[in-house]
Structure 1
Amino acid sequence: MRCNICERGCLLPEAGTGACGLYSRIGREIVELYPDRYLIICPISIETMPLLHFYPGGKFLQISTAGCNFNCDGCISAAIVKEMDPASRAFHHLSPEQVVDEAVRNDCIGITFLMNDPLASFLTFINVAEAAKARGLLVGCSSNGYFTEASLDKIIKLLDFVNIGVKGMSGEAYSRCGGDTPAPVLRNIERFYQSGVHVEVSCICSKGHNQEILILADYLANISADIPLQVMRFIPVEGAELALEESIRKAEGLRDMLREKLNYVYLFNSPGAEYLNTLCPGCGELILKRDFYGPMGAKLKPAGLGLGEKNCCPRCGRELNIKGFVAKKVYQEGDFQGGYPFTRALEMMEAILIAMGVREQQKVVRIWEDVLCNNNLGKFHDDIRTPRAYIKTIRHFGGLIGLEDKAEALAKYLEEKLLLIESGLRTVDRKPRVYYAMGKPNFCIKGGRLENQLVETAGGTSVNREIDCEGRPGMSITLEQLEALNPEIIFISSFMSSPVDDFYEECLKACLDVEAVKNKRIYNLPAPCWDFGSPRWVLGLMFIANIIHPGIFHFDVLAEAKVFYDKFYGMEFSLSDTNLSFGKPSCSFKWDTQPEMLKKGGETCRQTLSLSPSAL
């Protein structure tokens, strides 16, 4: 018997599973092994899903489980789709009615499934969607769109909105993820649209694959040029090579070409870029303004003309493909809540453990469970923002999993470098003014983040602290604000970075009048994740110290990296093998054993939720 939930159509033996490991069968029934179990249940603003043209700024309840029907290279959700044990005690068990109650209690106007694919928990999601619709709530999801026609028939009548992630326009692109062809996805996009479901489409922009995005745009235009297309600049995490990351400048050029085919094209993962804003396709006026809000996310800002009567452009009267009203107040998520920053938090915990020599995923899951079950995610967020608190966290995690000696070795290494730098700064009177940007010059990283702590630890004055900075991981500021800060040195974040030449040209194009630009003191760190998210920040600290006080510090940072990798990762350091993963120190990193997606103890679960093939 074949599974008819997704188009992979896995053959399910009696009591066995398919590729995703999340469904089995008993007789002629497909059963879900982990029903009604949620890793995340929290309110979000809809743009963090992300969805841009549906009830802008609206407050929705995010639900996420674990697992996926695909296995994509460089998956930003790998922590929850590949590594989190779906039987973990970190999950919340709630009935569909309890999920809906949570949405109502939090004044949410709807429920949305995201971060992992609803096809991984299809039967659970169907029940939640039915309960939500019965209470008058809106329902939607983000999905890879690999629904069979049978499963699509089941879900399409329950959805108000959907974000479909297209992996490419070739069989090769889908075979890399475990699929076969994009045909089912394209079919489903058209069916969703024709059925009145609000559809937005997302796609990954990486080097060498832009032609497929142009073909996708042509396909969407044949359905409707008003379908919003979200271009996600690729973040090379997990095993993905850093060379696949397209520059912001080239991604912006692609967006301009796509805009010739479609009326609404947005560029994500490009801090400081203007292409998250909604412009009227008729007259070009700014309707809704948004800012970068972490990986794959955006945040609605109070600017632009807004929507006129019947969601028309207030200036020219053109009807805009935006459904619903704009929220009067945009919901502000908590630390690590709302969309993909949660997965970054798990990866940061993983980073500490891997630097202790951990190679078993179950030990990582134990730490995740300790933090999540004890409501310590907020504390973890605060503790990783300062070097000393970070070191304390290392020792704490080491104690929890019985690796005190390895934790102590890592902690002492970091402390020794801190003390060495502190000693070198004892006679320093003047601290240069330093600005930390992400992506483009106008995107200011929050003053309290670790990057700015490293600047101050290295003997600089963080001018970012002089900006009342909201957002995540910061916000766009005006060039006038940046000129008022007048930094002498600028560092570009090693996460979602930008080539120095591109960054410098942006400064010149904007006629940015600051000392750092005049003297060309603009710097990238030698490798990704050397200033945030990983114990490798100590390598970034040494580099920053060299730049800020070249007369005092002369660290051979690449030599130190070789020592660090050998001592704490047991591998050779290679710049060409690095990526943007906080946790994984290289593209070639492998776990000792892969997690078992199927655990025992499923009898109660199997009886709780099942759906026969005929019901689909």
Structure 2
Amino acid sequence: MTTAAICESRYARQLADGRVECTLCPRYCHLRDGKRGVCYVRQALGGRMVLAAYGRTSGLCIDPIEKKPLFHFYPGSSVLSFGTAGCNLTCKFCQNWQISKSRQAHTLSVAVTPDELAQLALRYGCRSVAFTYNDPVIYLEYASAVAQACHARAIATVAVTAGYINPEPATELFADMDAANVDLKGFTDAFYHQLCGGQLAPVLETLRYLYHETDTWLEITTLLIPGLNDDEQQLRAMCEWIGSELGSEVPLHFTAFHPDYHLLDRPATPLATLVNARQLARQCGLQHVYIGNRSDLEGEGTCCAACGHRLISRDGYRLTGWQLQAGACPVCHQPLAGRFAAEPGDWGARRLLIRR
């Protein structure tokens, strides 16, 4: 069994009763010495708050960037994915609970420094490094150090996050991120409270901050769970909010739920639910709406927002067509929102596990 390195947190304060308050996220955990927060990786120790998972990861893998999912950020390129353990939300439907809900030290079995991670990405020809599997919010200090090492080598960085973070640490985290996919889990306080153990408002504030105050490329994902967050009223309110508070060009991914963790009594999301949600979002004015975790060639392709010409075709995580010219439509010359190279990447749908 391995022991994770320890790094002191900048986001904490001592309370009059001797406890330490973590100010990283809206949970504001109050911890006595030796106790860990809900996220499990932040711990009160000697009157300080520490990140007890610095420099260790639960695994390393090279994925297609489309798997994050990011469809408008260097399509076809490869991304080195890694995470730690734990999470600051308690989603009953977590699709990655073996890592995000882990309380076992052996989950963090791979020791890797920020420089080593950046060098690995360089060695394997990855265009970017993604902080994923669990939320980089909870290991912010480690994520930021890795991101800075990546940028020193011209490697981009990607945060896959639920956006459950306070404003000051959000400024630090996203200053180091070139792209982010934010998991907007639902659009009611009741959903967040009952199924995620959190609140909706801080996530919306993170989304506003990302879109209006940073240069981070933003995409949004919503996992549709039958009978819980897939009703027309909730989806319409969410799509209208995205269009008015962010922008109609922000890509939105509707992905399919499968029964997992503590939500085994719900059926998997039917394709028809995803198709209907996509149609509703487009009716609300959103330009780029995608379907994930189900095969649907129409819902996986990217079209010009101005003339409708198909610009990028996909089959799952694999690119099957590319019509972009200098990041724009070849028919009407409308630029496509996002970050694009002159030519698409050729990584395909491969997944390569890195063993160290």
Q: What per-residue deviation string (whole Å, max 9, x for no partner) do you get for residues 582-605 of structure 1? A: xxxxxxxxxxxxxxxxxxxxxxxx
Corresponding residue for residue 274 of structure 1: 298
Corresponding residue for residue 88 of structure 1: 106
Is 2:66 the counterpart of 1:42?
no
Corresponding residue for residue 73 of structure 1: 92
Is 2:317 the counterpart of 1:317?
no
User: How many Å separate the matches in 2 of 1:110 and 1:29?
Assistant: 33
The 3 A distance-change label for structure 1 pair 330 and 173 is: same
User: How many Å separate the matches in 1 of 2:345 and 2:63?
Assistant: 15
User: How many Å separate the matches in 2 of 1:207 and 1:8?
Assistant: 28
Percentage identity across paired residues of the two chains: 25
Corresponding residue for residue 265 of structure 1: 289
Task: Supply the AA of the counterpart residue of 1:250.
Answer: T
The 3 A distance-change label for structure 1 pair 139 and 82 is: same
Is 2:353 the counterpart of 1:329?
no
User: How many Å separate the matches in 2 of 1:275 and 1:157?
Assistant: 32
In the TM superposition, what is the alpha-carbon distance from 1:249 to its structure 2 partner? 1.6
- Equivalent pair of 1:15/1:25 in contact (CA under 8 Å): yes
In the TM superposition, what is the alpha-carbon distance from 1:307 to its structure 2 partner? 1.2
Task: Give 1 or 2 for the bigger CA radius of gyration.
Answer: 1
Q: What per-residue deviation string (whole Å, max 9, x for no partner) do you get for residues 251-271 of structure 1? A: 212211111220000011222
Match runs of 1:167-246 below 5 Å? 167-194=185-212, 195-208=214-227, 209-210=229-230, 211-222=233-244, 223-246=246-269
User: How many Å separate the matches in 2 of 1:334 and 1:234?
Assistant: 21
Corresponding residue for residue 9 of structure 2: none
In the TM superposition, what is the alpha-carbon distance from 1:28 to its structure 2 partner? 4.9
- Equivalent pair of 1:22/1:67 in contact (CA under 8 Å): yes
Unaligned runs of 5+ in 2: 1-19
Corresponding residue for residue 121 of structure 2: 103
**TM-score, structure 2 as length reference:** 0.87
Task: Supply the AA of the counterpart residue of 1:133.
Answer: H
Task: Supply the AA of the counterpart residue of 1:239.
Answer: H
- Equivalent pair of 2:85/2:99 in contact (CA under 8 Å): yes
User: How many Å separate the matches in 2 of 1:175 and 1:8?
Assistant: 12
User: How many Å separate the matches in 1 of 2:261 and 2:347?
Assistant: 33
User: How many Å separate the matches in 1 of 2:318 and 2:208?
Assistant: 28
User: How many Å separate the matches in 2 of 1:17 and 1:142?
Assistant: 23
User: How many Å separate the matches in 2 of 1:103 and 1:164?
Assistant: 23
Task: Supply the AA of the counterpart residue of 2:301.
Answer: N
Q: Mean alpha-carbon deviation: is it higher for 111-120 or for 241-250?
A: 241-250
Corresponding residue for residue 179 of structure 2: 161
User: How many Å separate the matches in 2 of 1:177 and 1:23?
Assistant: 22
The 3 A distance-change label for structure 1 pair 251 and 92 is: same
User: How many Å separate the matches in 2 of 1:120 and 1:106?
Assistant: 27
User: How many Å separate the matches in 1 of 2:315 and 2:302?
Assistant: 11
- Number of aligned residues: 330
Task: Supply the AA of the counterpart residue of 1:291.
Answer: D
Corresponding residue for residue 11 of structure 1: 30
In the TM superposition, what is the alpha-carbon distance from 1:120 to its structure 2 partner? 3.0
- Equivalent pair of 1:201/1:229 in contact (CA under 8 Å): yes
Corresponding residue for residue 59 of structure 1: 78
User: How many Å separate the matches in 1 of 2:116 and 2:350?
Assistant: 21
Match runs of 1:19-34 below 5 Å? 19-34=38-53
**TM-score, structure 1 as length reference:** 0.51
Name whichever structure is richer in strand by fraction: 2
2:272 maps to which of 249, 255, 264: 249
User: How many Å separate the matches in 2 of 1:179 and 1:317?
Assistant: 46
The 3 A distance-change label for structure 1 pair 248 and 89 is: closer
Helix, strand or coil: the match of 2:35?
A: coil
Helix, strand or coil: the match of 2:190?
A: helix
User: How many Å separate the matches in 1 of 2:349 and 2:293?
Assistant: 19
In the TM superposition, what is the alpha-carbon distance from 1:26 to its structure 2 partner? 3.0
Helix, strand or coil: the match of 1:226?
A: coil
- Equivalent pair of 2:75/2:340 in contact (CA under 8 Å): yes
User: How many Å separate the matches in 1 of 2:43 and 2:265?
Assistant: 37
Task: Supply the AA of the counterpart residue of 2:325.
Answer: G
Q: What per-residue deviation string (whole Å, max 9, x for no partner) do you get for residues 139-195 of structure 1? A: 111000001112102112111100000121222111134543211111111111121
User: How many Å separate the matches in 1 of 2:160 and 2:185?
Assistant: 13
Off by >4 Å, runs of 4+ in structure 1: none
User: How many Å separate the matches in 1 of 2:216 and 2:108?
Assistant: 33
Unaligned runs of 5+ in 1: 293-298, 339-371, 374-616
